[in-house]
Amino acid sequence: MAQKIPQHIDEVTIRFAGDSGDGMQLTGAQFTNTAAFMGNDLNTLPDYPAEIRAPQGTTNGVSGFQIHFGSVEINTPGDYCDVLVAMNAAALKVNLLRLVKGGSIIVNIDGFNDKNLKLAGYTTNPLKDGSLSDYQLHEVDITKLTTIALQEMNLSSKLVDRSKNFFALGMMYWMYNLPLETTLKWISEKFENMPDIRDANTRVLKAGWNYSETTEIFKVRYQVTPAKLVPGNYRNVTGNQAAAWGLMTAAKKAKLDLFLGSYPITPASEILHELSIHKNFGVKTFQAEDEIAGITSAIGASFAGALGTTTTSGPGLALKTEALGLAVMVELPLVVVDVQRGGPSTGLPTKTEQSDLLQVMYGRNGESPIPIIAAATPADCFNTVFESARIAIKFMTPVICLTDGYLGNGSEPWLIPNYENLPDISPRFVTNPEGFFPYSRDKVTLARPWAIPGTPGLEHRIGGLEKQDLTGNIDYSPKNHDLMVHLRAEKIARVANDIPLAEIEGDQRGDILVVGWGSTYGAIRAAVHHHQLKGHSVSHLHLRYINPMQKNVGEILSQFKTILVPELNLGQLIIILRSHYLVPAIGLNKIQGLPFNAEEIETKINELLEGNKL
């Protein structure tokens, strides 16, 4: 048989989908690691089912993983996929609308028996009724072929069934001319002490590749060349991994022990998991009995001279509210990483949403301002967490770092920074008791001294009751309270003097400015870039610093006729912009547990451009 010559393409989006027990997240993650190893730029969207144990074979139990990779700049996980790998009928039904017309569908025909069709809500078999005629349908009995590949190993039927995801992965490696070696090495290391699983997965992965090489079912295979990335050392990283490493690096650069006091909560738990395996870097992790214990233990660690940190998501942040006020009152450094999810209440634990902005901005009693910083991409979680720690230490304040489920679980190539080039953020602990007052202040930052308990002559008290200026003694007097409230507010306001000015992507003035924050960055960048290529007057401002904002934000906003603010909520940033700058900004809001498609933002920009012409 003649060897199929790969057809070169610039980019492609693949979606793996199946039952929550089919290993689609693992399959997608391994494909992602291999694409990253080959030098492709990429962006991913793991899409977990909302129910932990939804009935097998139902649409509620479908788990998906989408990867957009290419030789060009990749900013989103793809609006639609070019290839859909569906392990059962429910996976096809849930994800078909996300497939481009003419796209390829690879189905495991064993997942389309009468039982699975009924569970998925099909009245006829879509593989036979002509409803998929607009697509390139490839029917493969993945379950049977996996069984054949493993028939000599005398394994349990459960273990055989759990290996079929590697058959699908081997097929996709062949289709996109990617090597098996990265995954083979991972299998060998991961299952070193489980030889049956190691050998089964190895054999099935190779079987999927060999099947695709020898069968006539696939007419074309593809080649995606490496992307032209900035020179340096890269690795694929999720947002939660990047956040964990950002915390570790910040602690090292501050010459402090790192303490994480946290209560497990989706989708932030992976930060706790990641940090817990790095005790060799002086990391101390404490899985607390609840959210309150998590944050208060971190405050205690900061009091003792460590970098105190805590992680959570929306419902957990609500429980941490009183302790956040305590951190404001005692003026100790604290980093809170909030990996946002859909709300309210328990809401959508596995889905993404920019749900907590107003909560972190205003959700505390009394006048209790806190610096707020938002990450824009998975890799940017490293930089944002590091910056949060820098500000917390320098200004002696809690800082909230916002990411979300899309960033935390999603991944992209990360240019590993040179450790030596990162700034020294070491605190200046006070050690001299002469002239010491616990609430005296630095003239520039208004930060109070950081005095470690047990240092002779520096004994002092902390607590939630109002502090007297300088001494830190309890003081309820009206004038003192007024003074301390203003001092704490002014201290946070002065953070604006210590951060860079905001920068626009595009012209400095024009018709439309798209303003975003957090994980909307990629979709906004792609949409704005498309309009700029058409010669339209559209620019992009992405806000990293939410409180305080950069000094030139108001001036930037005034240079544009129309301000568009896309958000994964009902318009929380837009409330802040309107109140601070009195701009008649227009919102574009989506609350579906999914990130924006670039197309959605591009369409809204079109509408506004047409309106400006009238």
Q: Does pLDDT of 2 surpass 70?
A: no
Mean per-residue pLDDT of the chain:
96
Domains and their CATH numbers in the chain: 7-220 (3.40.920.10), 236-421 (3.40.50.970), 504-613 (3.40.50.920)
Q: At what angle do helices 598-613 and 521-533 cross, to 10 degrees?
A: 50
CA proximity to 132, closest of 118, 145, 122, 119? 122
Convert the pLDDT of each residue in 558-567 to its tens digit. 999 999 999 9
CA proximity to 162, closest of 18, 20, 65, 23? 23
Which residues 6+ apart lie within 8 Å of 250 measured at CB? 258, 307, 335, 385, 386, 388, 389, 390, 425
CA 40 to CA 42: how far, in whole Å?
6
Query: Is 109:87 a contact under the CB 8 Å cutoff?
Result: no
Q: What is the pLDDT of residue 613?
A: 59
Confidence of residue 3 (pLDDT cuts 50, 70, 90): low
What six digits make up the tokens of 66? 């989408």
Helix (H) or strand (E) holding 410: none
CA 32 to CA 38: how far, in whole Å?
10
CA 574 to CA 564: how far, in whole Å?
9
Q: Does pLDDT of 453 surpass 70?
A: yes
* Average pLDDT, integer, range 496-511: 97
Q: What is the pLDDT of residue 614?
A: 47
Single-letter amino acid, residue 537: S
Q: What is the pLDDT of residue 265?
A: 97
Helix (H) or strand (E) holding 514: strand 510-517
Share of the chain above pLDDT 90, in %: 95
DSSP E strand boundaries for 313-371 = 334-340
Give the residue carrying structure tokens 């950081």: 450
Which residues 6+ apart lie within 8 Å of 591 measured at CB? 342, 353, 568, 569, 570
Query: Is 224:176 a contact under the CB 8 Å cutoff?
Result: yes
Confidence of residue 356 (pLDDT cuts 50, 70, 90): very high
CA 188 to CA 211: how far, in whole Å?
22
Single-letter amino acid, residue 458: L
Q: What is the pLDDT of residue 216?
A: 82
Confidence of residue 424 (pLDDT cuts 50, 70, 90): very high
Convert the pLDDT of each residue in 366-394 to its tens digit. 999 999 999 999 999 999 999 999 999 99
CB 534: neighbour CB atoms within 10 A?
9
Q: What is the pLDDT of residue 107?
A: 98
Share in percent of the chain as helix, strand, coil (round to 5): 40, 20, 40
Convert the pLDDT of each residue in 91-140 to its tens digit. 999 999 999 999 999 999 999 999 999 999 999 999 999 999 999 999 99
Measure CA 306 to chain center.
26
What six digits make up the tokens of 539? 């620019």
Single-letter amino acid, residue 450: W
CB 343: neighbour CB atoms within 10 A?
19
Q: What is the pLDDT of residue 263?
A: 98
Query: Is 513:503 a contact under the CB 8 Å cutoff?
Result: no
CA 507 to CA 505: how far, in whole Å?
7
Query: What letters, b where the CB count within 10 A reaches 16 and e where it falls short, cover 227-256?
Result: beeeeeebebbbbbbbbbbbbbbbbbbbeb
Q: What is the pLDDT of residue 164?
A: 96
Question: 571 in helix, strand or coil?
Answer: coil
Convert the pLDDT of each residue in 148-199 to its tens digit. 999 999 999 999 999 999 999 999 999 999 999 999 999 999 999 999 999 9
Q: What is the pLDDT of residue 217?
A: 84
